[in-house]
Amino acid sequence: MAATPTIRLQDIADRVGGKVHGDPQGRVHGLATLQSAGPGQLSFFANGRYLPQLRSTNAAAVLVRTEHLDSVPQAAIEVDDPYLAYARVSQLFDWRQPSRPGVHPSAVVADTVQLDPTAEVSALAVIGAGSQIGAGAFVGPHAVIGADCQVGENSRVEAGVVLYDNVSLGARCIVHSGAVLGADGFGFAPDSGNWVKICQLGGVRVGNDVEIGAGTTIDRGALDDTCIGDGVKLDNQVQIAHNVQIGAGTAIAGCTAVAGSTKIGERCTIAGLSGITGHLTIAAGTHITAMSLVSKSISQPGAYSSGTGLQPHGSWKRNVVRFKQLDELSRRVAKLEQTIELNSIEGHKE
Amino acid sequence: MAATPTIRLQDIADRVGGKVHGDPQGRVHGLATLQSAGPGQLSFFANGRYLPQLRSTNAAAVLVRTEHLDSVPQAAIEVDDPYLAYARVSQLFDWRQPSRPGVHPSAVVADTVQLDPTAEVSALAVIGAGSQIGAGAFVGPHAVIGADCQVGENSRVEAGVVLYDNVSLGARCIVHSGAVLGADGFGFAPDSGNWVKICQLGGVRVGNDVEIGAGTTIDRGALDDTCIGDGVKLDNQVQIAHNVQIGAGTAIAGCTAVAGSTKIGERCTIAGLSGITGHLTIAAGTHITAMSLVSKSISQPGAYSSGTGLQPHGSWKRNVVRFKQLDELSRRVAKLEQTIELNSIEGHKE
Amino acid sequence: MAATPTIRLQDIADRVGGKVHGDPQGRVHGLATLQSAGPGQLSFFANGRYLPQLRSTNAAAVLVRTEHLDSVPQAAIEVDDPYLAYARVSQLFDWRQPSRPGVHPSAVVADTVQLDPTAEVSALAVIGAGSQIGAGAFVGPHAVIGADCQVGENSRVEAGVVLYDNVSLGARCIVHSGAVLGADGFGFAPDSGNWVKICQLGGVRVGNDVEIGAGTTIDRGALDDTCIGDGVKLDNQVQIAHNVQIGAGTAIAGCTAVAGSTKIGERCTIAGLSGITGHLTIAAGTHITAMSLVSKSISQPGAYSSGTGLQPHGSWKRNVVRFKQLDELSRRVAKLEQTIELNSIEGHKE
Residue that terminates a domain, selected from B93, B118, B149: B93
Cα distance between residue A130 and residue A92, in whole Å: 35
Considering only the beta carbons, identify the residue of A142, A255, A306 that sits closest to B311: A306
pLDDT digits (tens, 9 = 90+) for B229-260: 999 999 999 999 999 999 999 999 999 999 99
Residue B2: per-residue pLDDT: 47
8 Å CB contact of A195 and B273: no
Cα distance between residue A126 and residue C100, in whole Å: 28
Lowest mean pLDDT: which of A191-195, B275-279, C150-154?
A: A191-195
The three-class DSSP label of residue B108 is strand
Cα distance between residue C49 and residue C67, in whole Å: 15
Give CA torsion, residues B322, B324, B325, B330, to 10 deg.
90
Residue that terminates a domain, selected from C50, C65, C93: C93
8 Å CB contact of C259 and A236: no
Distance, in angstroms, between B117 CA and closest chain C CA?
Answer: 23
- Tell me, what DSSP letter sits at residue B223? S
How far is C-alpha B71 from the geometric centre of its chain's CA atoms? 34
Residue that terminates a domain, selected from A71, A93, A115: A93
* C332 part of contact set with chain A, CB < 8 Å: yes
Distance, in angstroms, between B104 CA and closest chain C CA?
Answer: 14
8 Å CB contact of A178 and B215: yes
Q: Has residue C1 got a pLDDT over 70?
A: no
Task: Return the amino acid letter for A108.
Answer: V
Residue B343: per-residue pLDDT: 74
Check whether residue C287 and residue C221 sit in a common domain: yes
Nearest CA in chain A to B142: A142
Check whether residue C41 and residue C62 sit in a common domain: yes
8 Å CB contact of C236 and B219: yes
8 Å CB contact of C275 and A291: yes
What is the full DSSP assignment across B143-200? -EE-TT-EE-TT-EE-TT-EE-SSEEE-TT-EE-TT-EESPPP--EEEETTEEEE---
Cα distance between residue C295 and residue C284, in whole Å: 17
Residue A193: per-residue pLDDT: 87
Considering only the beta carbons, identify the residue of C194, C217, C340 that sits closest to A178: C217
Query: Contact, B273 vs B254, CB < 8 A?
Result: yes
Burial B75-104 (b: 16+ CB within 10 A, else e): bbbbbebbbbbbbbbbebbebeeeeeeebb
DSSP E strands, C209-331:
211-212, 217-219, 226-228, 233-234, 239-240, 245-246, 251-252, 257-258, 263-264, 269-270, 275-276, 281-282, 287-288, 293-294, 303-305, 311-312
* A310 part of contact set with chain B, CB < 8 Å: no
Distance, in angstroms, between C311 CA and closest chain B CA?
Answer: 5
Count of C-beta atoms within a 10 Å radius of residue C124: 29
Which residues in chain B have their CB less than 8 angstroms from residue A142's CB? Answer: 124, 142, 160
Task: Return the amino acid letter for A224.
Answer: D
Residue C2 resides in a domain: no
Nearest CA in chain C to A217: C215
Q: Has residue C31 got a pLDDT over 60?
A: yes
Give the pLDDT band of residue C349 (cuts 50, 70, 90): low
Task: State in Å, rounded, how far the first CA of chain C is from the last one.
Answer: 93
Task: Return the amino acid letter for A217.
Answer: T
Cα distance between residue B62 and residue C83, in whole Å: 62
How far is C-alpha A183 from the geometric centre of its chain's CA atoms? 20
8 Å CB contact of A237 and B237: yes
Measured between alpha carbons, how far is residue C255 from residues A85, B240, B258, C136, C236 in Å? 35, 11, 10, 31, 7
Residue C294 resides in a domain: yes
Check whether residue C35 and residue C183 sit in a common domain: no
Which one is catalytic: A104, A142, A176, A242? Answer: A242
- Tell me, what DSSP letter sits at residue B52? H
User: ipTM surpassing 0.90, yes or no?
Assistant: yes
- Average pLDDT of chain B to the nearest whole number: 95
Assign 3-state DSSP to chain B and report helix, strand, coil percentages, each to 5. 20, 25, 55
* B185 part of contact set with chain C, CB < 8 Å: no
Give catalytic status of residue C279 as yes or no: no
Residue with the bigger pLDDT between A85 and B347: it is A85
Beta bridge partners of C252: C234, C270
Which one is catalytic: C242, C279, C287, C348? Answer: C242
Which residues in chain B have their CB less than 8 angstroms from residue A322's CB? Answer: 326-327, 329-330
Residue A98: per-residue pLDDT: 80
Residue with the bigger pLDDT between B348 and A130: it is A130
- Tell me, what DSSP letter sits at residue A211? E
Q: How many domains does chain B have?
A: 2
In terms of Cα–Cα distance, which of B203, B125, B132, B129 is closest to B161?
B125
A138 phi and psi angles, rounded to 5 deg:
-125, 125
* Chains sharing 3 or more CB pairs under 8 A with chain B: A, C
Q: Has residue C347 got a pLDDT over 70?
A: no
Residue A104 resides in a domain: no
Cα distance between residue B25 and residue B124, in whole Å: 44
* B251 part of contact set with chain A, CB < 8 Å: yes
Q: Has residue C56 got a pLDDT over 80?
A: yes
* C63 part of contact set with chain A, CB < 8 Å: no
What is the full DSSP assignment across B267-335? T-EE-TT-EE-TT-EE-TT-EE-TT-EE-S-B-S-SEEE-S---EEHHHHHHHHHHHTTHHHHHHHHHH
Distance, in angstroms, between C286 CA and closest chain A CA?
Answer: 11
Which residues in chain A have their CB less than 8 angstroms from residue B340's CB? Answer: 336, 339-340, 343
Count of C-beta atoms within a 10 Å radius of residue B338: 10
Q: Has residue B330 got a pLDDT over 80?
A: yes
- Regarding beta strands B275-276 and B257-258, do their DSSP bridges make them parallel or antiparallel, or are they unpaired? parallel
Task: State in Å, rounded, how far the first CA of chain A is from the last one.
Answer: 93
- Regarding beta strands A257-258 and A239-240, do their DSSP bridges make them parallel or antiparallel, or are they unpaired? parallel
Give the pLDDT band of residue C346 (cuts 50, 70, 90): low
- The CATH number that applies at residue C25 is 3.40.1390.10
Residue B274 resides in a domain: no
Query: Contact, A137 vs A116, CB < 8 A?
Result: yes
Residue B340: per-residue pLDDT: 83
DSSP E strands, A37-134:
41-44, 61-64, 75-78, 102-103, 108-109, 114-115, 120-121, 126-127, 132-133
Measured between alpha carbons, how far is residue B265 from residues A187, A321, B262 in Å? 21, 27, 10
Our separate counts of H helices and E strands in chain C read 5, 40
A93 phi and psi angles, rounded to 5 deg:
-110, 15
Assign 3-state DSSP to chain A and report helix, strand, coil percentages, each to 5. 20, 25, 55
Cα distance between residue C325 and residue A323, in whole Å: 12
Give the pLDDT band of residue B43 (cuts 50, 70, 90): very high
Residue B339: per-residue pLDDT: 87
Beta bridge partners of B150: B132, B168
Residue A341: per-residue pLDDT: 80
* B334 part of contact set with chain C, CB < 8 Å: no
Check whether residue C231 and residue C332 sit in a common domain: no
Residue C76 resides in a domain: yes
Beta bridge partners of C303: C287
C132 phi and psi angles, rounded to 5 deg:
-120, 130
Residue B147 resides in a domain: no
Measured between alpha carbons, how far is residue C69 from residues C17, C38, C132 in Å? 16, 19, 50
pLDDT digits (tens, 9 = 90+) for C91-128: 999 988 888 999 999 999 999 999 999 999 999 999 99
Cα distance between residue B77 and residue B10, in whole Å: 9
B344 phi and psi angles, rounded to 5 deg:
-60, -45
Considering only the beta carbons, identify the residue of C183, C191, C293 that sits closest to A310: C293
Query: Contact, A172 vs A136, CB < 8 A?
Result: no
Count of C-beta atoms within a 10 Å radius of residue A241: 29
Check whether residue C193 and residue C59 sit in a common domain: no
The per-residue pLDDT string of chain A (350 residues; one tens digit each, 9 = 90 and over) reads 445 679 999 999 999 999 999 999 999 999 999 999 999 999 999 999 999 999 999 999 999 999 999 999 999 999 999 999 999 999 999 988 888 999 999 999 999 999 999 999 999 999 999 999 999 999 999 999 999 999 999 999 999 999 999 999 999 999 999 999 999 999 999 999 899 999 999 999 999 999 999 999 999 999 999 999 999 999 999 999 999 999 999 999 999 999 999 999 999 999 999 999 999 999 999 999 999 999 999 999 999 999 999 999 999 999 999 999 999 999 999 999 998 887 777 666 65
How far is C-alpha B311 from the geometric centre of its chain's CA atoms? 29
A325-334, B102-111, C92-101, C341-350: range with highest mean pLDDT: B102-111
Considering only the beta carbons, identify the residue of C142, C189, C315 that sits closest to A87: C189
- Tell me, what DSSP letter sits at residue C221? P
Give the residue-averaged pLDDT of C173-183: 98
Residue C1 resides in a domain: no
8 Å CB contact of A142 and B140: no
The three-class DSSP label of residue C160 is coil
* B25 part of contact set with chain A, CB < 8 Å: no
* A303 part of contact set with chain B, CB < 8 Å: yes
8 Å CB contact of C310 and B294: yes
Task: Return the amino acid letter for A148.
Answer: D
Optimal mutation site among A154, A236, A246, interface C, most CBs of chain C within 10 A:
A236
Check whether residue C81 and residue C170 sit in a common domain: no
8 Å CB contact of B327 and A318: yes
The three-class DSSP label of residue B51 is helix
Give the residue-averaged pLDDT of B105-134: 98
Considering only the beta carbons, identify the residue of C241, C306, C333 that sits closest to A309: C306
Count of C-beta atoms within a 10 Å radius of residue C292: 29
Check whether residue C41 and residue C152 sit in a common domain: no
Nearest CA in chain A to C322: A327
Distance, in angstroms, between C35 CA and closest chain A CA?
Answer: 33
Considering only the beta carbons, identify the residue of A236, A323, A340 that sits closest to C183: A236
Residue C156 resides in a domain: yes
* C90 part of contact set with chain B, CB < 8 Å: yes
Packing angle, helices B326-349 and C326-349, rounded to 10: 30
Share of chain B above pLDDT 90, in %: 93
Check whether residue C20 and residue C136 sit in a common domain: no
* A290 part of contact set with chain B, CB < 8 Å: no
Cα distance between residue B7 and residue B27, in whole Å: 5
Task: State in Å, rounded, how far the first CA of chain B is from the last one.
Answer: 92
* C251 part of contact set with chain B, CB < 8 Å: yes
Distance, in angstroms, between C309 CA and closest chain B CA?
Answer: 6
Give the residue-averaged pLDDT of C45-60: 95
Q: Which domain holds residue B61?
A: 7-93
Nearest CA in chain B to A334: B333
Residue A2: per-residue pLDDT: 47
Check whether residue C120 and residue C249 sit in a common domain: yes
- The CATH number that applies at residue C124 is 2.160.10.10
Task: Return the amino acid letter for B167.
Answer: V
Considering only the beta carbons, identify the residue of B36, B123, B160 that sits closest to A162: B160
Considering only the beta carbons, identify the residue of C106, C237, C310 that sits closest to B239: C237
Nearest CA in chain C to B164: C159
How far is C-alpha A267 from the geometric centre of its chain's CA atoms? 12
Residue B99: per-residue pLDDT: 81
